[in-house]
Amino acid sequence: MHTISHYLLRRLLAGAVLLCGAGLAKAQDLTAPLPKDPKVIKGKLPNGITYYIRPNSKPEKKVELRLAVNTGSIMEDDDQQGLAHFMEHMNFNGTKNFKKNELVDYLQSIGVQFGADLNAYTSFDETVYILPIPTDKEGNLDKGFQIIEDWAHNALLTNKDIDDERGVVLEESRMGKGADDRMMMKYLPKLMMGSRYANRLPIGKDEILKNFKHDVVRRFYNDWYRPDMQAVAIAGDIDSATAMKYILKHFAGLKNPAKPRERTMFEVPARQKPDAVVLTDKEATNYQLQIIYPAQKGKADKTLGDYRQSLMQQMVTSIINRRLSDLAKGSNPPFPYAMVGYGEEWARGYENFSAFAMFGEEGPEKALNALTAELVRVKQFGFNETEVELTRKSMLSMVEKMYNERNTTESSNYVDEYVRNFLQDEAIPGIENEFQYYKQLLPGIKATELNNIIKDWMSSPNTFTLVTGPDKEETKLPNDKEMLAMTQKGFQQQVQPLEEKKVATSLLAKKPTPGKVTGQVKDEELGATTYTLSNGAKVTIKQTNFKSDEILLNGVKKGGTNNYGVADKSNAKYAATVAAAMGFGEFAPSDIDKVIAGKPVKIGMNMQPIQNAITGSSNVKDFETLLQLMYLRLTAPRIDESLFKAYVDKQKTQIQFLTQNPQISFFDTTLNVLYKNNPLAPVPFPKAKDFEELNMARAIDIYKNEFTSADGYHFFLVGNVDPAAALPLIETYIGSIPSANKEPKFSDNGVRPVPGLLSVKKGSEKQSLIIASYTGELPYSEDFKMKAEALAEVLNIKVIEEMREKLGSIYTGGYYASVAQFPYPHYSMAMQLPCGPENVDKLLAAANDEIKALKEKGPDQKDIDKVKNQWKEAHRTEVQENKYWSEALANVLFWGNDKNGVLQYDQRVDKLTPADIQQVAKQMFNGKNEFISVLYPENFKTDKPRSSN
């Protein structure tokens, strides 16, 4: 269950969201209304409840249910601030048919995981409940509908249950506090111009959460949880008639109040003059600036013309963001990152244009001037045809891929779309219609039309400039008045039109000389064939129909950062990103982006401790481009000193203040102590000195040594890949990779964790974090790995039951088990519990009690069964995904794991017993391998933490 995130995150997301729309008439009649997708049944019962039904078999034997309530924190009375979100919590803590904890207990028993599957969220204007139901067993679906009916009108809201949940919600509130929250509370009233939204953050006020009378939350529930404010969305492996039967059974009898309260829509006043706010906080981690234009009332897509307008808006933000990306990737970047976005922000029904950039210790002026110069340039000169065409190609490619995968779209995508239709009036014409709209509308959109859109967005001079960052003496930030003057000066710059440059059409000047397939082995059980090439590389192909237009590439070879000592630690760790920052062949990074524009092709490389990994993806049509891009990156790294310097400077700017955050600083200190300050120990967060130590020539030498030889490579291709069509391309672009005839190896660098106790005091908020690590060395077996992971899941059940529900002392937290064979056989059980400092001892004692009970008695069979059912349900879904098989094949065919771990997964899970878990608990929690570290706020008096077992 989560609430609204910080403003910046919402803006970043908004810039990436496709603005959705609707339908097209044959002659492009722009007044034609947008149709509803005929594959979805939408209706309304006499009591006003809206419903959506969409039969869909991806994934099989699962139905996605959503209950959407058209209310959120904006509808709270003054004495209810935070109770819309609190009510969301209460629906998991006792309803007419599921008493407290019974709901979560039941869902866990049928394979639904709390948090990962079962969830909910509350924002300003809406509350949405998320419930996936496996349908492999009779009765599951009926219970699922009973649950969402209970959420809609059957919450018990007993005094005791309400009081028990206060601590959990207050812990969630505690977790959100910090630098971003403190600064937001200062700028939000000015940004929102006195709107009610500024005073109705979903998390609410702690004082109210602690002290509200029980009837106050009941009043909210009775006022706003009513059928005319609700919708039920259903998509999945279910026929329409059955779904309709359940809707009538569970929702037709709901009644509205005799005198329902009006669901008000609240306004955001128009800004009457420009303004600027500069805020700092000692715990902030980076400098940011935003230029926010006044919010305007938005308009839902109702007609083809509206849809066309949405496409143009998306094109405008895409083109500007490409320009800003080019600047950030250039040889003298004015900022490490910048973007623009247009869309709904805080208030439903309001949209605005905004721009964002990061900057460093030098202050905001350079970044601001570059950002405003680009905005002035597009407003004054508009866009050139080259960049308009690149954007057309990208958008068409994206929607074509969605269209090609229309029969393998997950049910969760559909129900989430229908929830938006209910709450935000988003059109739902269906991908078949949308694909046609894109094809017919995009070619006719002219650059001059896009120019008019940006002029409209930037028509008001009444911008709000927001600057936030660390409170550092060495950084001289302007005050509010100076920042406003700086912004206005930036918009008065004289600029020239963007120079239109020719875009290359091919990544490679000529095709490489192909290698040959020299052998093949087919594994019938895995459904995969492995080909050996003349240069020694291996390629395994598994053709699937899970996604109609997806091919995943996974390449792996032994090697990695463990092969290098302290002097090369940074050069090895960042070798792949250094190479990517300078480009390949004839192309700088931004040039490559333009060459592949319109092709959904991605490739990434990274050095891990014992392996070098390549991951990529493409659609079917552009599979050759994927292989070309990989070949280019493997064979033609380039040197560019100016781009290298820009890379180093950008990285330092983005990370130099990370340890101002108390929790990041705590993690860093904890890892140092856990590994006895070993300079080769894992680095959880990079530091500026890591990049200052980089040597360009040495980093590229390491990149060449680790990546550019075919020796030892095994590539895995999974998806809609036809072997007959793929093999000639594989021979050309993988078979031609040079071979050095040198067997790659990985090393054990000897880094080992140690036991101990640590207490760290950092931070001004009353926040603590408990980290525990239990480590050791044991002979590796996949059997032990599964049992260790089951032990972690049993402990996580107890975290929810005991620490969250009974003690009310945490919102989230848990255990994670890791068992590895290489570079040496070892295991780790890690625990994290964010909490209040006053609860540290209580939670350590609770953790100790649970571990002790598992060692002495073993787990309850009921908990083991929950883990089994959750695992089998998750596995039943994941085996229908290409990503799963890409990783599984590498584990079996490259690392040598037993394939029966994949093929007989359910049987292995079914064999787990309480005695197995008890035995593993004794091995992992042996009293000799424990490291406990606790973060306390500054000025909090405490002794070092005591051992928990």
Encode 384-411 in three state secondary structure: CHHHHHHHHHHHHHHHHHHHHCHHHCCH
The confidence score (pLDDT) of residue 17 equals 31
CA 287/CA 277 separation, integer angstroms = 13
What are the tokens at 334?
């004015």
What are the tokens at 678?
């070993």
Stated as kind and residue range, the H or E segment containing 354 is strand 350-359
Indicate the number of domains in the chain.
4
**Both 343 and 441 in a single domain?**
yes
Q: Is-contact 788 819, C-beta < 8 A?
A: yes
CA 321/CA 335 separation, integer angstroms = 13
Q: Is-contact 591 583, C-beta < 8 A?
A: yes
Residue 336 in any domain: the answer is yes
The string of pLDDT tens digits covering residues 487-499 is: 999 999 999 999 9
Higher pLDDT, 231 or 297: 231
The confidence score (pLDDT) of residue 24 equals 37
**pLDDT over 70 (residue 949):** no
The string of pLDDT tens digits covering residues 806-855 is: 999 999 999 999 999 999 999 999 999 999 999 999 999 999 999 999 99
**Both 93 and 156 in a single domain?**
yes
The confidence score (pLDDT) of residue 856 equals 98
Burial code of 893-911, b = ≥16 C-beta within 10 A, e = fewer? bbeebebebbeebeebbee
**Both 620 and 767 in a single domain?**
no
pLDDT-derived band at 15, boundaries 50, 70, 90: very low
Residue 521 in any domain: the answer is yes
**Bridge-based pairing state of the strands 50-55 and 230-236:** parallel
**Both 67 and 113 in a single domain?**
yes
Q: What length is written for the chain?
A: 949
Return the closest-CA partner of residue 917 out of 798, 791, 816.
791
CA 705/CA 697 separation, integer angstroms = 12
Residue 775's beta-bridge partner residues? Answer: 828
**Bridge-based pairing state of the strands 930-936 and 768-776:** antiparallel
**Both 305 and 449 in a single domain?**
yes
Burial class (CB in 10 A: 0-12, 13-18, 19+), 497: exposed
**Both 791 and 714 in a single domain?**
no
CA 432/CA 450 separation, integer angstroms = 26
**Mean pLDDT across the stretch 498-502?**
91
CA 358/CA 834 separation, integer angstroms = 29
Rounded to the nearest 5 degrees, what angle is found at the Cα of 695, between the Cα atoms of 691 and 696? 105
Residue 24 in any domain: the answer is no
The confidence score (pLDDT) of residue 944 equals 62
**Mean pLDDT across the stretch 778-804?**
98
Residue 494: CB atoms within 10 A of its CB come to: 7
Q: Is-contact 604 589, C-beta < 8 A?
A: no
Stated as kind and residue range, the H or E segment containing 605 is strand 602-607
CA 368/CA 465 separation, integer angstroms = 10
**pLDDT over 70 (residue 14):** no
* CA trace torsion 170, 175, 179, 181 (10° rounding): -50
In percent, how much of the chain has pLDDT > 70? 96
**pLDDT over 80 (residue 426):** yes
Residue ending a domain, among 217, 251, 285, is 251
**Both 683 and 773 in a single domain?**
no
Q: Is-contact 760 689, C-beta < 8 A?
A: no
**Both 242 and 348 in a single domain?**
no
The string of pLDDT tens digits covering residues 331-358 is: 999 999 999 999 988 899 999 999 999 9
**Bridge-based pairing state of the strands 814-820 and 756-761:** unpaired
Helix (H, G, I), strand (E, B) or coil at 703: helix
**Mean pLDDT across the stretch 561-584?**
98
The confidence score (pLDDT) of residue 194 equals 87
**Mean pLDDT across the stretch 706-723?**
98
The confidence score (pLDDT) of residue 948 equals 47
Stated as kind and residue range, the H or E segment containing 553 is strand 551-558
Rounded to the nearest 5 degrees, what angle is found at the Cα of 629, between the Cα atoms of 626 and 634? 125
User: In what side-by-side order are the strands of the sheet with 119-122?
Assistant: 41-44, 50-55, 230-236, 62-69, 127-134, 119-122
What are the tokens at 259?
């005198």
CA 312/CA 451 separation, integer angstroms = 10
**Mean pLDDT across the stretch 568-588?**
98
Residue 257 in any domain: the answer is no
The confidence score (pLDDT) of residue 1 equals 40
Burial code of 198-227, b = ≥16 C-beta within 10 A, e = fewer? bbbbbbbeeebbeebeeebbbbbbebbbbb
pLDDT-derived band at 292, boundaries 50, 70, 90: very high
Burial class (CB in 10 A: 0-12, 13-18, 19+), 927: exposed
Residue 745 in any domain: the answer is no
Range of the domain at 479: 275-405+424-490
The confidence score (pLDDT) of residue 263 equals 97
Return the closest-CA partner of residue 569 out of 678, 670, 469, 680.
680
The string of pLDDT tens digits covering residues 610-656 is: 999 999 999 999 999 999 999 999 999 999 999 999 999 999 999 99
Q: Is-contact 478 364, C-beta < 8 A?
A: yes
Say which amino acid occupies 693: E
Helix (H, G, I), strand (E, B) or coil at 94: coil
The confidence score (pLDDT) of residue 2 equals 34
Tell me how far the alpha carbon of residue 329 is from its chain's centroid. 24
**pLDDT over 90 (residue 248):** yes
**Both 436 and 481 in a single domain?**
yes
Residue 238 in any domain: the answer is yes
Look up the CATH number of the domain holding residue 680: 3.30.830.10
Residue 744: CB atoms within 10 A of its CB come to: 18
The chain-wide mean pLDDT, for the chain, equals 95
The string of pLDDT tens digits covering residues 856-887 is: 999 999 999 999 999 999 999 999 999 999 99
Integer CA distances (angstroms), 434 to 293, 394, 816, 885, in order: 30, 15, 43, 31
**Both 857 and 760 in a single domain?**
yes
Residue 576 in any domain: the answer is yes
According to DSSP H, which parts of 511-587 are helical?
A: 569-573, 575-582
**Mean pLDDT across the stretch 367-391?**
97
Residue ending a domain, among 702, 733, 764, is 733
Burial class (CB in 10 A: 0-12, 13-18, 19+), 778: middle
Residue 776 in any domain: the answer is yes
Q: Is-contact 917 742, C-beta < 8 A?
A: no
Return the closest-CA partner of residue 112 out of 65, 56, 156, 80.
65
In percent, how much of the chain has pLDDT > 90? 93
pLDDT-derived band at 18, boundaries 50, 70, 90: very low
**Both 521 and 481 in a single domain?**
no
Cis peptide before 823 (omega within 30 of 0): yes
Who's near 798: CB < 8 A, 6+ residues apart?
Answer: 850, 863
Please enumerate, as own/partner, the contacts of 103-107 that have beta carbons within 8 Å and a separation of 24 or more: 103/147, 103/150, 104/800, 106/143, 107/131, 107/147
**Both 310 and 239 in a single domain?**
no
Rounded to the nearest 5 degrees, what angle is found at the Cα of 121, between the Cα atoms of 119 and 123? 175
The confidence score (pLDDT) of residue 945 equals 60
Who's near 126: CB < 8 A, 6+ residues apart?
Answer: 68, 69, 70, 71, 72, 423
The confidence score (pLDDT) of residue 946 equals 56
